[in-house]
Amino acid sequence: MYKCDYSFCLLGLEAEAADAIKAVEPLEWFTHRFVAADKAKDVDEADISGADVVIFKEAAGLRPLEARRLAGDKGVCILCRDDASELTSQELAAVDGVWPERLAPDTAELLFSRLMRDIKLKKDAWLWEMELQAVIDTSMDLIWFKGRYGEHWRVNDAFCQIVEKTKEDIRGKQHYYIWGLTPEEYAAGEFVCLETEQDVKEAGRTCRYREHVKGPEGMREMITLKTPLYDNGEFIGTVGVAKDITKEMAYRKKLMNQAQTDELTGLLNRRYFFLKMGKMVQREVLSLCYMDLDFFKELNDRFGHKAGDDALIGFSDLLAEHFEKDVVARLGGDEFVVGICGNPDKKKLQHRLDRFMEDVHGFFSQTEEFRGLSVSIGVVVGESAGTPVDVLLHQGDIAMYEAKKGGKNRYCFYSSDMYDMDV
């Protein structure tokens, strides 16, 4: 995955020890290059300063501080000395390890093999760190790692973008700071996900949630996966992955609204009215008001469809206002229906319809084009649950035409006598 061409400078080591070190097989992804000499002066300074590892004795003419200066901060300096007690603290800090001054071949091989394993472990850890960060930053989902007390230790770019903070600013911080919550919101536990964090800890496994989180851009809706992390059985934190579905849900809601509502008026459409009322009629008594505008065709013929659309929109607004708790739909053209749950008191329903028709008359009277319009209404008061919706609509239609025959601009309650006459 990676390639490390490591260079070594061996200064003052016994020939057998140096040969034993050179004979060590490089670990995976590593190659070795050696420069060896009895004295530091016998080696170009560039060979020492360019080495990844310098193993030396002071007898070679190189002191710890000088070795560190030549090797640089990234180089590894190993001093071969039996007694390190005489070294100053600065000299001890300058070296990465102290080996015996006289190295037997077996000891040299063992210590060098351990050194290379340690170097490879650090390199592997670096690689894993780089790969992990690259993977999580590539993800469009939010990813985070939290400590046992809820502090965030690692997040990805997508997380930073949505909270509008940098990784450095987020590190070690709590949810309320990262997401910009007020102290009152945090104290109340709103939009903090504290309960789910505790659930994951108690469950001891990956859990899936649908959560609402308040952020800089307002409420966000998330689908989250949270997994507990352990160290030798001890809980140390969680890792979380969240898919922000805010826009997706808004788009889905828009599509659903388009499928369920009439595009012009915003009321329910015919299809969804039948679907919704069909479910309700199975368990409830339903009543309805079937409405048809009077002289609407004449309005369209004389003033055009734009005037007709404006009349429909204004009439629909009045319907939604007067029957806000009921099921209101446009069946098509200038036909509308209001579905009412239960068997309403006839006098109260008459009072509602009277006020509605007064407002309809007032609205149509305001505009010259609309002054000839009115509404005829057929009212069906349900008697028992289970009556099919199309039967109720048919009865409403009969009563509505009875209102039209009676002079229009009125409402009429359905009765079985009307049905017999219709037949």
DSSP 148-196: TTS-EEEE-HHHHHHHT--HHHHTT--HHHHTT--HHHHHHTTTS-HHH
Does residue 188 have a pLDDT over 80? Answer: no
Query: Which pLDDT score is estimated for 270?
Result: 94
Do 128 and 148 lie in one domain? The reply is no
Q: Which of 26-40, 104-118, 170-184 has the lowest mean pLDDT?
A: 170-184
For helices 296-303 and 305-322, give the axis angle rounded to 10 degrees. Answer: 140
Do 234 and 268 lie in one domain? The reply is no
* CATH number of residue 144's parent domain: 3.30.450.20
Query: Which pLDDT score is estimated for 120?
Result: 96
Do 177 and 280 lie in one domain? The reply is no
Query: Which pLDDT score is estimated for 201?
Result: 87
Query: Among residues 118, 135, 152, which one ends one of the domains?
Result: 135
In a domain, 255, yes or no: no
Do 345 and 377 lie in one domain? The reply is yes
In a domain, 102, yes or no: yes
Instruction: For tokens 């469809």, name the residue.
Output: 305
Query: Which pLDDT score is estimated for 158?
Result: 94
Query: Which pLDDT score is estimated for 94?
Result: 96
Total of domains in the chain: 3
* CATH number of residue 294's parent domain: 3.30.70.270
Active site includes 310?
A: no
Query: Which pLDDT score is estimated for 191?
Result: 54
In a domain, 256, yes or no: no
Do 144 and 288 lie in one domain? The reply is no
* CATH number of residue 28's parent domain: 3.40.50.2300
Do 151 and 241 lie in one domain? The reply is yes
Q: Is 110 exposed, middle or buried (0-12, 13-18, 19+ CB in 10 A)?
A: middle
Query: Which pLDDT score is estimated for 383?
Result: 76
Query: Which pLDDT score is estimated for 309?
Result: 96
Average pLDDT over residues 379-388: 86
Q: Which residues pair with 380 in a beta bridge?
A: 288
Q: What is the pTM of this model?
A: 0.59
Do 280 and 408 lie in one domain? The reply is yes
Do 311 and 170 lie in one domain? The reply is no
pLDDT range class, residue 180, cuts 50, 70, 90: confident
User: SS3 of 341, please?
Assistant: strand
In a domain, 320, yes or no: yes
Query: Which pLDDT score is estimated for 421?
Result: 46
In a domain, 254, yes or no: no
Query: Which pLDDT score is estimated for 385?
Result: 82
Does residue 352 have a pLDDT over 80? Answer: yes
Percent of the chain whose predicted confidence (pLDDT) is above 70: 96
Sheet holding 207-215, edge to edge: 152-155, 142-147, 234-244, 218-231, 207-215
In a domain, 326, yes or no: yes
Domain limits at 222? 139-248
Do 241 and 355 lie in one domain? The reply is no
pLDDT range class, residue 422, cuts 50, 70, 90: very low
Do 321 and 409 lie in one domain? The reply is yes
- φ/ψ bin of 26: left (φ > 0), alpha (ψ from -120 to 50), beta (otherwise): beta
Average pLDDT over residues 269-293: 92
Contact 173, 151 (CB under 8 A): yes
Query: Among residues 135, 162, 181, which one ends one of the domains?
Result: 135
Does residue 137 have a pLDDT over 90? Answer: yes
The model's pLDDT over 42-69, given as tens digits with 9 standing for 90+, comes to 999 988 998 999 999 999 999 999 999 9
Does residue 141 have a pLDDT over 80? Answer: yes
Query: Among residues 188, 214, 248, which one ends one of the domains?
Result: 248
In a domain, 409, yes or no: yes
Give residue 416's identity as a one-letter amino acid code.
Answer: S
- φ/ψ bin of 337: left (φ > 0), alpha (ψ from -120 to 50), beta (otherwise): beta
Question: Using only C-alpha atoms, what is the Rg of the chain?
Answer: 41
Do 130 and 150 lie in one domain? The reply is no
Q: Which of 82-86, 166-170, 217-221, 301-305 has the lowest mean pLDDT?
A: 217-221
Of 212 and 287, the one with more pLDDT: 287
Of 362 and 247, the one with more pLDDT: 362
Query: Which pLDDT score is estimated for 423?
Result: 36
Do 404 and 265 lie in one domain? The reply is yes
Cβ contacts of 44-47, under 8 Å, gap ≥ 24 = 45/70, 47/7, 47/9
Choose, from 309, 334, 390, 417, the residue flagged as catalytic.
334
In a domain, 338, yes or no: yes
pLDDT range class, residue 193, cuts 50, 70, 90: low
